Structure 1
Amino acid sequence: MKQLLPMAGALVLSWLASGFTVSRPKPADLVLLNGSIITLTQQKGQFSAVVIQNGRILALLTDSEAREFVGPKTKVVDLKGATILPGLVDAHCHLLGLGMALANVNLVGTTSYAEVIERVKARAAKTPKGQWILGRGWDQNDWQNKHFPDHKALSAAVPNHPVWLTRIDGHAGLANGMAMEQAGITSKTKDPKGGRIVRDDKGFPTGVFVDNGEELISRVVPALTSDQRRKLLETAAEACLKVGLTGVHDMGIPPEQIADYKALADMDRLGLRVYAMISPPESIENAVGYLRKHRVDGYKDGMFTLRGLKLYMDGALGSRGAALLADYSDDPGNRGLLVTAPERVEKLCEAALKAGFQVSTHAIGDRGNRLILDATKRP
């Protein structure tokens, strides 16, 4: 089996259009030899070498041709038959979320609620009392008991730390008793618009919060500093590069994260190209101005661009928040949630059109998709 060799974004995506050759060999910065080069273009011929200068691909050649570009200061790498192909772009990611997932309790693949609790207990054992414990990745559909968990077992096992565990889809979360206490959640707390507090048969919160209900807990989780955000973004970018991703589309970032991306690009620590979509403003009265203010076109030689708006119409199927035309088969009376009012979505789409922004909308359920299609088809 051939080995895949991922390469940094600027190197992989900059194939020259003029036949991938140059007429006057000059010493290059980097020459890769003895590889199998896949261009994914109509270019004819077989190439085994890549010549790189100033962070860009200068030519695709045979080994003998590429050696003409080797000078005293040229770095030469023997690929030993490895395959090189244009870098992959993840068209939907949340880069800061990936960084947080790598730093927090990993709950992906847990096969029971008990296993979730054990992983949280292990983190609590090395975390100062009172400090928040965050995690992500649980999915009750992977457990024998496929109902949403109740916080009581988690609260009993981890009583001295506020705990907030986001479901694998990001559209629901589980809080323990201390976290709900700090958030002021009681049986009298009302469901927010576009969200739900899951309750037991006596009306008490079970600790599970769906879609906009998650904000009731997340708003009291200590905010990350800019330094913390940048470190997490850098860690996430490194993880992407290791698997061959050289670009990502970051779907829905807050305005303050723009400065983080620019700072990392300025320090040459971003590593991959980011096309970002901003989260919508709270008020739609000056949405056009908001979008134009935050637009970024090809910052730092194209390392960071922000020219999109991310919207949410509904929730997700796994957390029973996707908006359906009929009841969920396993949850009679529940047809999901509309996270954003259709009228607001329509006005934000109009603002994006005026500002020259692309719009991407999360819509999972059939009702959610029908509503976004209706909103965008209007003249």
Structure 2
Amino acid sequence: MRLMLCSALALAVAAAATPALAKEQVDLILHDGKVLTVDKAFSVRSAIAVKGERIVATGGEDLLTRYDAAKVIDLKGRTLLPGFIDAHLHPFPVKPSDIAVAEAKSIGEVQDQLRKKAALLGPGKWITGYGWQESNFTEKRNLSRADLDAAAPNNPVMLVRAGSHSAVANSAALKIAAIDKTTPDPKSGLIEHDAAGEPNGVIRERFDLVAKFIPQPTWAEMREPNIVWLKSILALGITSFWDASTTIDDEPVGKGGALPSNDGALFGGANLSWARAKEIYATHAADLPRITFYISYPGAERLKAFPYKSGYGDNHLRLGAIGENAVDGGFTGPTAWLLADYKGQPGFRGKGRYTDAELQDMVDTANRLGWQMGLHCIGDAAIVQTIDAYVKSLDTIADPAHPQADRRWFTDHFTIMPPEATMAKMASHSIAIAQQPNFLYNLEDRYMQVLDDERLAHNNAVATPAHKFGIFTAFSSDNLPVGPLVGLYAAITRKGPSGAVHGADEAVSRAEAIRSYTANGAWLSREEAEKGTLEPGKLADMIVLPFDPLAADPEVILKGAVDMTFVGGKLVFSR
């Protein structure tokens, strides 16, 4: 008995001396929420633990007993999901000559902005701006040369429409560009005229005829505005995006760059480039979204001289596809290339940009050099031409690094659904789509003007390509507008601003829409093992929404805002 008592006492003493099982140390825990992991099963959890840049665990409230975090955030029932990955976006930093034309609700407001800017800059200085849209104006019409002349007669003015497929210029700007009533339409573009035969100021697609005369700001002037723009999209929940505006013009001559004498004309001071981004991200990477760069096709010789190809880089900056070189125009022109006439415009089907031979040469050259392809094709005629070029190249040129089924080539936009034979080719050759469901919402007026009922119902389709043909689709915005929540709304409702539903059978589920704006974008850049879902080992790129996108009224999604954005576990935006 005495021996037993001694043994029990010894065990009690030993137990008292043994510390409780230590918790694993992490940097961040978010809990008491709805955590949409977007894994294969679309699992829903309530908590997540992060250490450094990466996710350690997801689970229930028991994570608080397993981990000890330097920072704990109570979500209080809000929703946590992966950061949005926008597969097609154009940075638009504010230049010194810009007015905030995208914010104007009437032509009168635009004119007020022009008067103020003209007074600030003085006579003769260029005034510019991006993002006007006639449907946003109370007048419900395009800006005209006369509108601009009335407000700024002594300054050349060019304002680019949202979508970048048309622009309007005033008389002073047209005079500098030597555009008058006798000027022929440029290749792949249109100069609009008034009833008297004079240019009305609107130039579709080829407004470079005027833009080339606009003095470019220096990179020293534009470096900080680019950083400001990059930070601005974090407020929209975008943690990664594909920059569809990049060239290699500023690379060293002999390594893909343009000739020094052409630097100013070919590469404006406002643009973010591969080289400029590397310089910014050397010190700001932790505070900015991740970027995959499209590279505009520079011609065979310069592309051969460029020492890198698709996939080069790291998880902050990497090279993506050759693109978005435009095979046709767009509906903001409108010059998208269709297989049938535009509604109410007999004989007009838009315009293609390349002959079959020219397009095939570009695709084949990029293919031989190991590049992914992501070309702009909006109209069904342009899609047919692009897919035929892709298929021919994929069938004849092998990539030792990737089998045909894993080349991850894609089309940008895919606005007008092509014939089923073309979609069958896409499916058989694993050609994907970078789709913009938000176009349906933002461009409803334009679509209703120019598209017949069938094309209107299936514009910017997702369900038919994905469900009937198994075509992989990632979502993006192309700046119309940038906010991903508009894209989610349009994808699940197929509604325009009027409230009309266009092609209800093209709507997709909420889970599918969320996956298309997160995990699918990561797959497109071959980063599915790194980001796009909230799973252990992946980058902690996350956003917090004050509503549940799986259950909220669609109007709540449309009008919603992001509460918090994290990149690599770091809080980079808080509303």
Give the TM bin, normalised by the shorter chain: 0.7 to 0.9
Q: What is the match of residue 286 of structure 1? A: 301
2:71 equivalent among 55, 75, 78 = 75
Deviation at 1:103, TM superposition (A): 9.3
Residue 316 of structure 2 is matched in structure 1 by 303
Describe the shift of the 1:62–1:333 C-alpha distance in structure 2 as closer, same or farther (beyond 3 A): closer
Contact between 1:101 and 1:136, CA under 8 Å: does it hold in 2?
no
Identity of aligned residues (%): 28
2:336 counterpart SS class: coil
Q: How has the CA–CA distance of structure 1 residues 60 and 327 changed in structure 2, closer, same or farther, with 3 Å as cutoff? A: closer
Pairing 1:86–2:101 present:
no
Q: Quick check: 1:246 aligned with 2:226? A: no
2:293 counterpart residue number:
276
Query: Quick check: 1:164–1:179 contact (8 Å CA) kept in 2?
Result: yes
Secondary structure at the residue paired with 2:82? Answer: coil
How far apart in 2 are the matches of 1:222 and 1:91?
30
1:194-233 to 2 correspondence within 5 Å? 194-211=188-205, 213-233=206-226
Aligned partner of residue 160 in structure 2, secondary structure: strand
Note the alpha carbon deviations across 1:273-318, whole angstroms, 9 max, x for none: 111111111xx3426405x43536453x411111311121111123
- Establish whether residue 339 from structure 1 lines up as the match of residue 353 from structure 2: yes
How far 1:200 moved relative to its partner? 3.1
Task: Report how far residue 271 of structure 1 moved.
Answer: 1.5
Give the number of equivalent residue pairs.
348
Gaps of 5+ in 2: 1-20, 251-272, 396-575
Counterpart selection for 2:171 from 166, 177, 183: 177
Letter in 2 for 1:216: L
Contact residue 164 and residue 173 of structure 1 kept, 8 A:
yes
Question: Aligned-pair distance for 1:63?
Answer: 4.2
2:148–2:170 CA contact under 8 A, matched in 1: yes
Cα distance in structure 2, aligned partners of 1:44 and 1:296: 30
SS at match of 2:25: coil
> For structure 1, which runs of at least 5 residues remain unmatched after alignment?
1-22
Offset of residue 111 of structure 1:
5.9
* Correspondent of 1:38 among 31, 36, 39: 36
Deviation at 1:33, TM superposition (A): 3.6
**Does 2:101 match 1:139?**
no
Where does residue 152 of structure 2 map in the other structure? 158
Determine the structure 2 residue equivalent to 1:20: none
Q: Is the 8 A contact 2:161 2:332 kept in 1?
A: no
User: In the alignment, what sits opposite 1:265?
Assistant: 281
How far off is 1:248 after superposition?
Answer: 0.8
**Partner-residue secondary structure (3-state), 1:160:** coil
1:364 matches 2:385 = no
Q: Which has the higher contact order (CA 8 A, sep 6+)?
A: 2
What is aligned with 2:483? none
1:57 counterpart SS class: strand
Q: C-alpha distance in 2, partners of 1:340/1:144?
A: 38
Amino acid at match of 2:390: T
Which of these two proteins has the greater Rg computed from alpha carbons?
2
**How far has the Cα of 1:133 moved from its partner?**
2.0
For the Cα contact (< 8 Å) 2:49–2:57, is it kept in 1?
Answer: yes
Q: Secondary structure at the match of 1:239?
A: helix
Offset at residue 171 of structure 1 (A): 0.5
**Are 2:95 and 2:222, in contact at CA under 8 Å, matched by a contact in 1?**
no
SS at match of 2:148: helix
Output the CA distance in 1 between the equivalents of 2:110 and 2:231. 27
1:93 Cα deviation after fit: 0.9
